Amino acid sequence: MENHAACYEQAEAQPQEQDLLKIIDRQKLPRHIAIIMDGNGRWAQKRGLPRSFGHRAGVESLKEIVNICCELKIEVLTVYGFSTENWNRPRVEVENLMNLLVEFLNVEIEELCKKGVRVNPIGIWEELPQLARETLAMAAQRSRDNCGLILNLALNYGGRLEITEAVRAIVSAVEEGRLKASRIDLQTVADHLYTAGQPDPDLLIRTSGDFRISNFLLWQLAYTEIWLTNEFWPDFRRRHLLSALVDYQRRERRFGGLKNQ
Ligand code: FPP
């Protein structure tokens, strides 16, 4: 706990955007950033507003973070938009989130395409309400040949379910004689996840002060650096992302090995 508190203080005492941009090493940027965009509800509550205002404000943060990831030429950004557990929220809140998703994609798809973003829904998104599903399919189709940032939108996503689905597909391949059980290795599993072919996240950001993984990218986060902030997601701006990057670049990643091995 004490370490985390120190980490917040350090991160939040960071200088402003221009200064941060000067010290970031463009050669050592993460290839893949994952974000748990938490705190929309508390942001709204703090202002005496309905939770839906927090989600709407959260979309603005998302747009800003997508933009800076494009500018920095980050390869993959994965954002947790809706978990398999979020169905437990009141029906109106779920509907509101789905409407926001549809609006975000309809309004932004052209701009996203101009920036070379490829929209890639991950999760059991085919089970989302029809309009959300169709809009996601439209965005994925329109952006599929783009070569810039891959924007993984985790929707109706659960890490345990993702691994379970991978196991099921691998077992089917074995049963059908396409794969030998003795040949199954780490790569086989990775190849059956929604993120197949993508690098694992180098950096995970979680906003709003909680210290949980919340069933997000359970396999892929094995050696990911974690950066936490007390900021609520709607307050998370470019300078916060840059602070996270500066902190990330100061870390020594050993992947279970030894320093300078
Ligand atoms: C967590 O905040 C946030 C979500 C469950 C949804 C994240 C959605 C957005 C940022 C809007 C963009 C929308 C999509 C679908 C791309 P919370 O509501 O759990 O906050 P709380 O913990 O303060 O209640």
Residue 249 pLDDT? 97
Which structure tokens are listed for 65?
A: 């973070």
Atom of ligand 1 nearest to the CA of 79: 16
Which structure tokens are listed for 132?
A: 């959300």
- From the CA of 219, how far away is ligand 1's center (Å)? 22
Residue 141 lies in a domain: yes
Residue 8 lies in a domain: no
Residue 62 lies in a domain: yes
- From the CA of 39, how far away is ligand 1's center (Å)? 7
* 228 close to 34: Cβ distance less than 8 angstroms: no
- From the CA of 59, how far away is ligand 1's center (Å)? 9
Nearest to 183 by CA among 200, 170, 196: 170
> 118-145: buried (b, 16+ CB within 10 Å) or exposed (e) per residue?
bbbbbbbbeebeeebbebbeebbebbee
- From the CA of 99, how far away is ligand 1's center (Å)? 13
Atom of ligand 1 nearest to the CA of 54: 18
Mutate to test the pocket of ligand 1, among 35, 36, 38, 51 (most ligand atoms within 8 A of CB): 38
Residue 100 lies in a domain: yes
Residue 245 lies in a domain: no
Residue 177 lies in a domain: no
- Dist CA 65 CA 237 (whole Å): 7
Which stretches in the chain have pLDDT values below 50?
Answer: 1-9
Atom of ligand 1 nearest to the CA of 93: 18
- For every residue of the chain, which 3-state class applies, written as one string? CHHHHHHHHHHHCCCCHHHHHHHCCHHHCCCEEEEECCCHHHHHHHCCCCHHHHHHHHHHHHHHHHHHHHHCCCCEEEEEEEECCHHHCCHHHHHHHHHHHHHHHHHHHHHHHHCCCEEEEECCHHHCCHHHHHHHHHHHHHHCCCCCCEEEEEEEECHHHHHHHHHHHHHHHHHCCCCCHHHCCHHHHHHCCCCCCCCCCCEEEECCCCCCCCCCCCCCCCCCEEEECCCCHHHCCHHHHHHHHHHHHHCCCCCCCCCCC
Pocket of ligand 1 (CB under 6 A): 37-42, 55, 58-59, 62, 81-82, 86, 97, 100-101, 104, 153, 208, 233
- From the CA of 230, how far away is ligand 1's center (Å)? 15
Mutate to test the pocket of ligand 1, among 36, 37, 40 (most ligand atoms within 8 A of CB): 40
Which structure tokens are listed for 236?
A: 């998370």
Q: Which domain holds residue 63?
A: 42-72+87-108+124-156
- Dist CA 100 CA 121 (whole Å): 15
Residue 135 lies in a domain: yes
Phi, psi of 17 (to 5 degrees): -50, -50
Residue 256 pLDDT? 83
How many domains are there within the chain? 1
User: Which positions are catalytic?
Assistant: 38, 86
Residue 51 lies in a domain: yes
